[in-house]
Structure 1
């Protein structure tokens, strides 16, 4: 069964999805003032560079968005100064602005409408020909846009599908009206939270519960679920003292994602490394000596690795080119089974993913579309001491972990004084703006004593119960 955990803290929203108590996906959304995928804007073309077939578009941010000129999008006749309706495809990366498309699409739970094509089409996952025929005969198609029937549509009646299409079409017309009457580049449409994406794409018939800790998010989720006949799920408003991710031990699993070596039950392991151009995953048999032949050992290790690789790629949100070096296998039928296990692991993946056959060298290549940041980008940053070759936990994430530890201590006994040791690699960043660092803990009403040391990996939190202890560390008391 599937369980969804939604935790909101300050400017951070985190969502975890577990299946049979195994963490499958984790989404993190920071409050950022930048364009996000799926948002629709009125833009003005500032420049066109024919050499790279690209247009640069002002959408109201400091960085111009960019759009490739593509006959498929019918955007060959663009002109400088022209107003254009666009949709964000990829968020900003570094100095690069957002990538946008020259067409728009509005997703619902059962359908998606877009103005790139016309007519009715179906998700590739829908194989039932009778269902397709029934839809073709009874759906209320639209003359000027395309309707794509999603997998979830198989579990509701045609009337429900038609109602959603009309609702999406009303939003579509409203967007165009706003576009025509808006003078400057601006956002015209966009769901402000990944919660809507999760509700639309990740709730299925196996979803048992949604656990949420924010009353507003609870109301949004309940309102959405109550209006969907194919959803039957229990929604819990968590009111515990500790954070959801800490209480359900999801935080430990997120921290474990910093490990590049992932052990397998068979005794083998996979090693995940990021290069400048791609992610590379190596499969090792390790201590797997349970089988009598090398061929059997290679197959069993590779099969288990394929299942785990699919989980790790989705969990870490790896994208681009992913190259897998499986253990050499002698038999083609074993290779087919390993590929099938890999493909099965991506069946529920909403990112567009292509898996290519084994090469002569025994390598498998995956091409996965980028949607959002990888988990690494949220929890760690390059290490300045090793010229960016290593990485450290982000100070913002350490602050969250420290708060978790304080809440854990406070739940056991009401403590007013907290002593924190933190690695001195963070001293300059913290002392530069001590108030910002401490504001995470201020709401807890604690007296904080902070010492920078070099013999802890990241930090250590200790409750100060006795007066002698407080006296020993009084020089480290933080005064803002």
Structure 2
């Protein structure tokens, strides 16, 4: 599989695109002034303890207090004399035994603040390096699930068990494959030095205080995405190119020849067709090659993905057509979830399949497809109706949240009142002016679509508005008005309405 990374940088924004087999697989965007805080470590102070939620709120020095769940607290982070976690019962002590109001505590951000919710934090600190992740509060060795060769897994585990600091945990990342004992030891020592520096700052500063920042987008891209599987790493900015080459030289010099400067006077993303692919990644509807399509709808609690056959009619039986569409959809859904960075609860409504074996085939395709995603995704199963439930770990904002803001007209609801509904509203307002306010001449100022709806109903002979004797209604179009905004005003005489540019409306008396 051919894979490339494209990094486009300017003073206001950095964008990183990962392309696999000519398909946009991942997109990261970081804008000046809105840098992410996931991975940051703070000295916080406990502000509230909520036994009913088994959680606490911690002031870490940002706009909203962070949320700390009892299960995210390591005992040694607060007091060595507290009762230990009961591993067999898989429960934790009462939150009131773990933290107290006013207490200082070291926490790391797990999830970005979103909407009205503050950041989620943990005391289980992790310090990722290029080859290993240091877990100062754990005491075990883990191996990346992407390292599949059993012999290599055993080799790495043996080495790491021997060299890890006492009482500390380590995880071998995918890039640790083939690494020597010396390389792994050097990486762990480097991460331990960082942790000691963090503790030194923690002991000497006053809470709330940021004591360690997660690395910038350039460093994270090299650390997390740039591996031997990548054929080329293209960078549009000379300054960014120089910085990235220095990082690659330090982390994995064998890949340095794959880092290339895009020396051109035109937009790199446009040149490689990435802008059009980003637009498609933000669309509600995604077409499949067969002619079927997916529809993505997001609510506050979950994301729903609907699978449809669309233009695909197949050549054999209906069940074959459905199976082919669903299997193609499963592959594309895994890719879209990763690209759009959709997280939390995800519900997929596949086209209904009668054969249970076909339903299992869909699950197998989906499980295999999500393995390419670095973010953990759990597939919970499929129902007789073809409904699949997934959960995907949330760490940052989705792509749609980065690029879009809630609509100021519908306030993010996604719907507005129809022209017909506004016409009915105009009718009520006209009668208010006639009978409540005592006017004989009324002007309706509205969006052209609403005016057309009112005129259309009057021409059909419907009694949308009936005027008492001597009363008149005038209609004035205003293309600058929102369709849900309307002004219905009374005027003293008909000439005042005409002077406003309003036209008489033919009404039944």
Whether these two folds match at TM > 0.5 is yes
Summarize deviations over 1:215-234 as a string: whole Å, max 9, x none: 33212321222231563652
1:358 counterpart = 2:382: yes
In structure 1, the residue matched to 2:136 is 115
**For the residues of structure 2 that align with 1:34 and 1:3, how far apart are their CA atoms?**
24
Structure 2 residue 241 is matched with structure 1 residue 218: yes
Question: SS of the residue aligned with 2:381?
Answer: coil
2:402 aligned residue: 378
Q: Give 1:103 shift.
A: 1.9
Residue matched to 1:163: 186
The alpha-carbon deviation at position 128 of structure 1 amounts to 3.3
The residue number in structure 2 matching 1:317 is 341
Deviation of 1:62 after TM superposition, in Å, equals 2.9
Equivalent in the alignment of 2:320:
296
Deviation at residue 390 of structure 1 after TM alignment:
3.2
CA distance in 2, matches of 1:384, 1:35: 25
Structure 1 or 2, whichever has the larger Rg, is 2
Deviates more, 1:169-178 or 1:334-343: 334-343
Superposition pairs of residues 458-477 of structure 1, within 5 angstroms? none
CA spacing shift, 1:337–1:141, aligned 2, 3 Å: same
Give me the whole-angstrom Cα distance separating, in 2, the residues matched to 1:217 and 1:202: 16
Do the aligned partners of residues 309 and 388 (structure 1) sit closer, same or farther apart at CA in structure 2, a change above 3 Å counting?
Answer: same
* Partner of residue 83, structure 2: none
Counterpart in 2 of 1:432? none
Aligned match of 1:93: 114
Q: Would you say the 8 A contact 1:85–1:103 is kept in 2?
A: no
Cα RMSD (Å) of the superposition? 2.2
Match of 1:2 in 2: 3
Instruction: Out of 12-21 and 374-383, give the one that drifted further.
Output: 374-383
Partner residue, 1:342: 366
Q: d(CA) in 1 for partners of 2:108 and 2:72?
A: 17
Partner of 2:286: 262
CA contact under 8 A between 1:302 and 1:327: conserved in structure 2? yes
Counterpart of 1:173 (choices 167, 183, 196) is 196
Residue 50 of structure 1: CA displacement? Answer: 1.7
| Mapping 1:395-474, distance limit 5 Å | none
Preserved CA contact (<8 Å) 2:73 2:122:
no
Distance 2:268 2:145 in 1: 36
**1:143 is aligned to 2:180:** no
C-alpha separation in 2, matches of 1:357 and 1:339: 7
Q: Which residue of 1 aligns with 2:60?
A: 59
Contact 1:210 1:233 in 2 (8 A): no
Report the equivalent of 2:221.
198
Give the secondary-structure state (helix, strand or coil) at the position aligned to 1:6: strand
Distance (whole Å) between structure 1 residues aligned to residue 254 and residue 180 of structure 2: 10
CA distance in 2, matches of 1:77, 1:295: 56
Query: Does the 8 A contact of 2:72 with 2:121 survive in 1?
Result: no
- Partner Cα separation in structure 2 for residue 35 and residue 206 of structure 1: 27
Give the whole-Å Cα distance in 2 for the aligned partners of 1:233 and 1:304. Answer: 36
Q: Closer, same or farther in 2 for the Cα pair 1:353/1:44, shift >3 Å?
A: same
Q: Return 5+ residue gaps in structure 2 as ranges.
A: 79-96, 416-478, 481-509
User: What is the aligned counterpart of 1:248 among 248, 272, 276?
Assistant: 272
Are the structure 2 counterparts of residues 389 and 95 from structure 1 closer, same or farther at C-alpha, using a change threshold of 3 Å?
Answer: closer
**In the aligned structure 1, how far is the partner of 2:336 from the partner of 2:72?**
36
Does the aligned pair in 2 maintain the 1:34–1:61 contact within 8 Å? no
Q: Deviations over 1:436-456 (max 9, x none)?
A: xxxxxxxxxxxxxxxxx98xx
Quote how far apart the aligned CAs of 1:307 are. 0.8
| TM-score normalised by L of structure 1 | 0.77
Q: Secondary structure at the match of 1:301?
A: helix
Stretches of structure 1 that go unaligned for 5 or more consecutive residues are 392-452, 455-480
Query: Is 1:78 matched with 2:99?
Result: yes
Q: How far apart, CA to CA, are the structure 2 residues paired with 1:34 and 1:57?
A: 21
Q: 2 CA distance for matches of 1:34 and 1:67? A: 22
Distance in 1 between residues matched to 2:35 and 2:23, nearest whole Å? 33
| Counterpart for residue 19 of structure 1 | 20
Deviation, 1:283, is: 0.8
Kept after mapping to 1: 8 A contact 2:38/2:214: no
Distance 1:86 1:55 in 2: 12
**SS of the residue 1:178 aligns to:** helix
